[in-house]
Amino acid sequence: MNLSHSAFPGSAEGLLESMRRRSQTGPRHLVEPGPDEGQRRQLFEAAATAPDHGQILPWRFVLIHAQARARLGRAFEQALLERDAAAGDDERGRAREKASRAPFLALAVVREGGDGQEHIRVHERMVSLGGALQNLLLMAYAQGFGAGLVSGLAMDSRALREFCALSEHERAVCFVAVGTVARGREPRQRPPVERLVSELAR
Ligand SMILES: Cc1cc2nc3c(=O)[nH]c(=O)nc-3n(C[C@H](O)[C@H](O)[C@H](O)COP(=O)(O)O)c2cc1C
């Protein structure tokens, strides 16, 4: 059997309905239990099915385990101080607290170059990462969890870059958070197809 040409299991409408049901849940509304080791692996296996021009794997994830959250919190605090050296205790505390949210937290990192594959340009690499993120989010929902993406000003900070050991060619894009939904919200109204397609017949 040629697997690459076999139809997906399940119906097309079923797949579309699953996609429609996904919606952003912010990390503060994601609580224990989170994905176990097998489920975490499945999330990353889903990410690995993303399209990848030239198969250069231009992205990776840094999974931040519970034991590393306090250090991530200090990195967020440092990131704040890079932007505002006069930030007060409350603001610094809020920055640290963000690191404790969501049982599963991983930083999505794109490699923009430096690998001799520069003909695959940055926007193509980002498209590949976007596919990986979407697949990971959908898998999280299929596992019965909620999930969301968060970026913010810390992404470009020296503190976060150092904490996650990013190379000079890598960029932190966003965190992906997964966990049990404490407070969900209805999926948003999706844009009508007419808004995203124009047609040429000749
Ligand atoms: C790269 C990226 C970064 C994001 N960062 C944030 C963020 O910092 N805060 C936030 O509330 N949502 C963030 N989001 C999630 C979007 O807000 C969310 O996808 C959008 O509201 C659409 O809702 P939906 O995902 O439920 O369809 C991010 C999404 C992407 C693709």
Calculate how far, in angstroms, residue 1's C-alpha sits from the geometric centre of ligand 1.
39
Q: How far apart are CA 11 and CA 105, in angstroms?
A: 31
- pLDDT at site 4: 64
Q: What is the DSSP letter of 48?
A: T
- pLDDT tens string 23-73: 999 999 999 999 999 999 999 999 999 999 999 999 999 999 999 999 999
Q: Decide: 174 in ligand 1 pocket, CB within 6 A.
A: yes
Return the CATH class of domain 28-67+103-182: alpha beta
Phi, psi of 62 (to 5 degrees): -110, 110
- Residue located nearest, by CA, to atom 22 of ligand 1: 24
- pLDDT tens string 113-161: 999 999 999 999 999 999 999 999 999 999 999 999 999 999 999 999 9
Sorted by where each begins, the domain ranges of the chain are 28-67+103-182
- Ligand 1 atom nearest the C-alpha of 26 is 11
- pLDDT at site 185: 86
Q: How far apart are CA 144 and CA 31, in angstroms?
A: 13
Confidence band for 2, pLDDT divided at 50, 70 and 90: low
Q: How far apart are CA 1 and CA 94, in angstroms?
A: 55
Q: How far apart are CA 185 and CA 23, in angstroms?
A: 7
Q: How far apart are CA 139 and CA 16, in angstroms?
A: 14
Residue type, 180: T
Say if CB 170 and CB 111 are below 8 A apart: yes
Q: Decide: 126 in ligand 1 pocket, CB within 6 A.
A: no
Give the residues across from 59 on adjacent strands: 110
Confidence band for 178, pLDDT divided at 50, 70 and 90: very high
Phi, psi of 158 (to 5 degrees): -65, -40
Mutate to test the pocket of ligand 1, among 127, 150, 185, 190 (most ligand atoms within 8 A of CB): 150
Q: How far apart are CA 79 and CA 155, in angstroms?
A: 9
Q: Decide: 26 in ligand 1 pocket, CB within 6 A.
A: yes
- Ligand 1 atom nearest the C-alpha of 108 is 1
- Residue located nearest, by CA, to atom 19 of ligand 1: 24
- In the three-class reduction of DSSP (H, G, I as helix; E, B as strand; rest coil), residue 4 is classed as helix
Query: Which of the two residues, 170 and 184, has the higher pLDDT score?
Result: 170
Tokens of 159: 């503190």
